[in-house]
Structure 1
Amino acid sequence: MALLALTVSAVSCDDLQELNVNPSFPVDVSAVSLMSPIEQQMARGLQFDNRFLGRYIQNFSNTATGNPWDRYGFVENSDQAGEIWRMTYFAIGLNLTKMQEKAIEEERHDITGISKVIRAWSWQVTTDYHSELIDLDQVFTQRLSYDYVGQEKVYAEVVRLLNDGLGDLARTDGRVSQAFTGVGDKMYGGERSKWTKFAYGVLARNLNSQINKATYNPDKVIEFCDKSLSSNADNAVIRFNGTVTDDSNFYGPQRSNLTNFRQTDFALRTMNGSIFTGAIDPRMSRVLVPSVGTSETAPSSAANPDPTKYTFNGNPLNTTASTVVTNVNRIPNLWGTYAPGSVTIPGRYLFRDKANFPLMTYSEIQFMKAEAAFIKGDKAMALDAYRKAIDASIDFVNSNTVPSSTFPITTLISAAEKAAFIANVNVVPAANALTLSQIMLQKYVALFGFGMLETWTDMRKYKYDNVNVYTTLNLLPNGGLFIDNNGKLPYRVRPRFNSEYVWNFEALKAIGGDKADYHTVEMWFSQQ
């Protein structure tokens, strides 16, 4: 016993702590080491949930009938559509807090600013998706249950964080270093000027969603847009190597997450000339996939495809129209095949293993400016921004197009195609003939496949107007709206089931989260 006592007394508390340190998984890391995985989670959260949100805005529909999301509903007792919540509170969550704390400790003011901008972006994304969020004074504390606060408080916190972040990004003292920050910053390579532009883009989104408020100021939106992304070179994109599953684009065929997704008939109408009076969008054949034409037998095996005989079709909501094998109008998946995804399928556009995923684009910023200028009554400014937005979107599509000589044959959009489309008065009219519908529908096209949340925010603030704004948008899918909607359209997505509904249900009841039609309650931002 004496020997045992002697042995124990010889081991100090410090020694025991060191025994629990794994050099392969350090518990104390520099701020820059946390940045890259945080940025990857920004893409992952959106991409996971875009599968469901893409049905609400009719980018995609499912190949089967009875899918609740195709009917503007939701799936009970499930984490479907809960990834953005998980991203904000778990995947990014305390990692971002730690990054900011370490940045302050290390006097890396640029990383401190980036931390605040990412936090603001995450709050903006999550509140625009879910509405009420965990009380900002209670989140990331030791509490075991949480209260929720409304969007008005969250929106104000977003603005505060962005202004603070902009102040930090402007600092040149301390240990600010683009070379150091760029090691972890895979989005902008440590360039503070581009993070500053991104921050102003989030500010523009924050204010531009409030067009129904008496406090809405289009001049401020225009100001923020002018300080935001100034070309496609400023686009905020998350990059994927595409060599292994874990580092492949979530949309790519290797991960096979979109096997049962098809382009919708509404998405097709925005590009095939149905809405824009015969003006066929050159982006259609690069972004959407053609059905079997008269010279093909099957997209995956056609020996001599003839693109002049391609036909483009869109799947209606809640039907099996795209899956009928004998139908010459059968619609391939977004990779251009009928097969489940695999590493051997090249994919196309943003639906490739190596495709970058955009968080914000210059085109989007110009569309916001066009909308704000239109509301202000400055049609000349609106037209100029609108034209620049379309031009930038076409260039963006080209930058994500891999030419192919097999089905579906794909080439880059030529300068002549681009010029002819922009010169078409049914697309780009004279300033006094420009309509809000043209602006919002062309923005819809530009954001197809990635900007689902921004598109849904627009649709909700215009109350799903399918007559004056989103012409021909289908608000009554086959089989009718989901039964729990009680005849209403969705305005929010329920918080994540396996955290909020399992562990914090009493607090959810206080905001009506226990009601079957909670997802149809209008958001603060869209109300007057």
Structure 2
Amino acid sequence: MKKTLYFATILALVSTACSDSILNKIDTNPNIISDAPLNTLLPAAQMTTFQRVVSPVSILSGYTSEHTNFTGVNTATKLQVGGGGTIWNNGFLAIRYFNDVRDKADKLQRPGYSAIADIMSAYTLSLLVDVFGDIPYKEASREDIIQPNFDKAQDLYAEMQKLLDSGIQKCDQASAATSRPANDDLVFKGNMTLWKKTAWALKARLHNRLSNVSAQESANQAILAINNAFAPTENFTVSAYQSNPENANPIANNFMNAATIVIADGIVTAMKSFLEPNEEVIADPRANIWFTKIGNKVVTPPTSRGNTDVTLNGTLYSKPLYLQNRPSPLPLLTYPELKFIEAEAQLRLGDKTKAYDAYQTAVRSAMSQAAIFNAAATLTSTQIDSYLARPKVLMGADKLTLKDIINQKYIFLFIFQSQEAYNDVRRTGLISLNDPDGTAKRLPYPVDEISRNANAPQVSDQNTVYQDNARLFWAKL
């Protein structure tokens, strides 16, 4: 948020009795290119979200979901040092960019650009709301408001659905080639059909998030949205990353530069739950392409604080192999996730047959995408069939449980999508975790936001985010 980004500078100058116009000039980020043409502004906005919001959210969510862990620092410190300010500031910056894209596109009557701005705004907003809860969305860009009010998270969920509905409508209006982007759209190159399906996929995800708020309504709405979303080969994925650090997958690049990441117990426990009691996790074929091994075993720290191994390839604890591939695509919302959502929704509605059909499709599709980070490691059909033949994996419609669905989804989300795993950890309470610090209910607000804005919620710092009253409105944990 712009006021937050430069608050320290403003505070130092207040005592000199500067005018508002001077302060506003000082408070202007010279890197913001709001007056740029659409074909420059759109990719800048998209990359702000992908590189500077998705990446830190996913990295911190890896720790809070116990997909991953790093050097023996407790989780509360990780959240405060690694998260709040970066995600917060860049999230609001990205939303401002998309507002500029929308305003300019509407003036120029280019609905394709405006549609993408709506859909990307909803996606970026969802990242912020799902990790912080209440945020000052509506007043954040007001120049005349120093201490913006915080909007309720549940109200912002309704706002996100409105943005997606608007984006869908505008996709239908962008029939002329001149009305939509081309290569300046970094995701679909101006393919408005895929953007429309992405909007429906996001609607499904957001509806399903409300399973504890309205079980049947959320299920019905999620299924309706899924019916309009991705086909099996379609995903909301950012591709074309390169091996050089400047143009790399941001999550992989982060851990190539900070190589203290290791595997946490959460992912190993989930994978073992579908194996026999005497089997090592490497009996799951994904473990062999996801984790480094110590003595032919996957070894995790004894607790979430236990890692003291700071070498990239690891001599004490196993590391995730996918984080060592800078050119990896970055999946944001995929067909397998939608099938897991469908399975869960059908189970809530009491249709075990449809739930099981969707679950089978989800697991098979998840296995086929397990090596998205490295095509050379793709699992063979024989490996996939052998895993699916396990009685704990495909147990039959009558024995399928919500925990089975959520655990398989949690495993699939290990590849660059820990933010959704963290959401399911809190929403369902079904993932087995062992962090001695407990599960953070949300990320702490940046320290300067708390100190400068009297409207910031009280449940907001690195200590209070573990309290029950910090739980988000849609969560069980």
Q: Please, what TM-score do these two structures have when normalized by structure 1?
A: 0.76
Q: 1:456 to 1:330 in 2, by over 3 A?
A: same
Match of residue 17 from structure 1 = none
Identify, as 1 or 2, the structure richer in helix.
Answer: 2
Give 3-state SS (helix, strand or coil) of 2:322's partner. Answer: coil
Residue among 364, 380, 385 paired with 1:391: 364
Structure 1 counterpart of 2:424, one-letter code: D
48-57 vs 436-445, greater mean Cα deviation: 48-57
Equivalent of 2:400, from 416, 426, 434?
434
**Runs of 4+ in structure 1 displaced over 6 angstroms?**
24-27
Deviation at 1:445, TM superposition (A): 0.7
Q: Which amino acid aligns with 1:112?
A: S
DSSP 3-state at the match of 1:39: helix
> Alpha carbons of 1:78 and 1:144: their partners in 2 closer, same or farther (altered >3 Å)?
farther
Q: In 2, Cα distance between the equivalents of 1:364 and 1:329?
A: 34
- When residues 351 and 382 of structure 1 are mapped into structure 2, their CA distance, relative to the original with a 3 A threshold, is farther
Q: Which amino acid aligns with 1:473?
A: L
> Which position in structure 2 is the counterpart of 1:340?
none
Give the secondary structure class of the aligned counterpart of 1:397.
coil
- Tell me, in whole angstroms, the C-alpha distance in 1 between the residues paired with 2:137 and 2:253: 39
Q: Does structure 1 conserve the Cα–Cα contact (< 8 Å) formed by 2:112 and 2:173?
A: yes
Cα deviation for residue 215 of structure 1 reads 6.5
Q: How many equivalent pairs are there? A: 437
Residue 283 (structure 1) aligns with: 286
Cα shift at 1:274: 6.5
Q: Are 1:241 and 1:354, in contact at CA under 8 Å, matched by a contact in 2?
A: yes
| 8 A Cα contact 1:131 1:523, kept in partner | yes
Helix, strand or coil at the partner of 1:183 = coil
State whether residues 252 and 322 of structure 2, in contact with CA within 8 Å, keep that contact through their aligned partners in structure 1: no
Q: How does 1:185-334 map to 2 (within 5 A)?
A: 185-214=185-214, 216-217=216-217, 218-231=219-232, 233-252=233-252, 256-272=256-272, 278=279, 280-291=283-294, 293=295, 310-320=296-306, 323=309, 330-334=316-320
Distance in 1, matches of 2:165 and 2:69, equals 39
What amino acid sits opposite 1:378 in the alignment? D
Name the structure 1 match of 2:65: 57
Assess, with a 3 A threshold, how the Cα gap between structure 1 residues 274 and 432 changes in structure 2: closer, same or farther: closer
The answer to whether the aligner puts 1:507 opposite 2:469 as a matched pair is: no
Q: Quote the Cα distance in structure 2 between the aligned partners of 1:514 and 1:400.
A: 35
Q: Secondary structure at the match of 1:252?
A: helix
1:165 is the counterpart of 2:167: yes
One-letter code aligned to 1:59:
H
Q: 1:386 touches 1:439 (CA, 8 Å); kept in 2?
A: yes
1:494 aligns with 2:441: no
Measure, in 2, the Cα distance between the counterparts of 1:333 and 1:281: 16
Residues 432, 515 of structure 1: alpha-carbon distance in 2 compared, 3 angstrom cutoff: closer
Question: Is the contact between residue 251 and residue 350 of structure 1 (CA under 8 Å) also seen in structure 2?
Answer: yes
CA contact (8 A) 2:336 2:362 kept: yes
Give the whole-Å Cα distance in 2 for the aligned partners of 1:123 and 1:236: 16
| C-alpha contact (below 8 Å) 2:328/2:374 kept by paired residues | no
Separation in 1, partners of 2:80, 2:307: 29
Amino acid at match of 2:474: F
1:248–1:437 Cα change, 3 Å:
same
Q: In the aligned structure 2, how far is the partner of 1:401 from the partner of 1:99?
A: 34
**Paired residue for 2:413?**
447
Matched, 1:473 2:433: yes
1:80 corresponds to 2:40: no
Give secondary structure in 2 for the equivalent of 1:381: helix
Q: Compared with structure 1, are the counterparts of its residues 26 and 263 closer, same or farther at alpha carbon in structure 2 (3 Å cutoff)? A: closer
Contact 1:110–1:176 (Cα < 8 Å) also in 2: no
User: How far does the alpha carbon of each residue in 1:246-269 deviate from its partner, in whole angstroms, 9 at most, with x for none?
Assistant: 211223368634411100123123
Tell me which residue corresponds to 2:6. Answer: none
Distance 2:342 2:216 in 1: 14
Q: Is the 8 A contact 1:262 1:333 kept in 2?
A: yes
Measured after TM superposition, the shift of residue 86 of structure 1 is 2.1
C-alpha distance in 1 between matches for 2:132 and 2:254: 30
CA shift, 1:157, in A, is 0.5
Letter in 2 for 1:36: P
- Deviations 1:4-61 (CA, angstroms, capped at 9, x unpaired): xxxxxxxxxxxxxxxxxxxx99863322322222222222212123222211110011
Tell me the equivalent position of 1:517: 464
Q: Does 1:140 align with 2:141?
A: yes
Larger Rg: 1
120-129 or 212-221, which deviates more: 212-221
Deviation at 1:161, TM superposition (A): 1.0
Could you say if the C-alpha distance between residues 527 and 150 of structure 1 is closer, same or farther in structure 2, counting changes exceeding 3 Å? farther
CA distance in 2 between partners of 1:254 and 1:266 (Å): 21
Q: In 1, are the aligned partners of 2:336 and 2:366 still within 8 Å (CA)?
A: yes
1:519 positional shift: 4.8
Kept in 2, the 8 Å contact 1:61–1:316? The answer is no
Whether 1:381 aligns to 2:367 is no
Contact 1:59 1:449 in 2 (8 A): no
TM-score under structure 2 length normalisation: 0.84
Work out whether residues 114 and 195 of structure 1, in 8 Å CA contact, stay in contact via their aligned partners in 2.
yes
C-alpha displacement of 1:285: 0.8
Tell me the distance in 2 between the aligned counterparts of 1:445 and 1:210. Answer: 21
**CA–CA distance in structure 2, aligned partners of residues 442 and 322 of structure 1:** 30
Counterpart contact for 1:286–1:401, Cα < 8 Å: no
- The whole-number CA distance in structure 2 between the counterparts of 1:422 and 1:84 is 38
Answer with 278-287 or 447-456: which moved more: 278-287
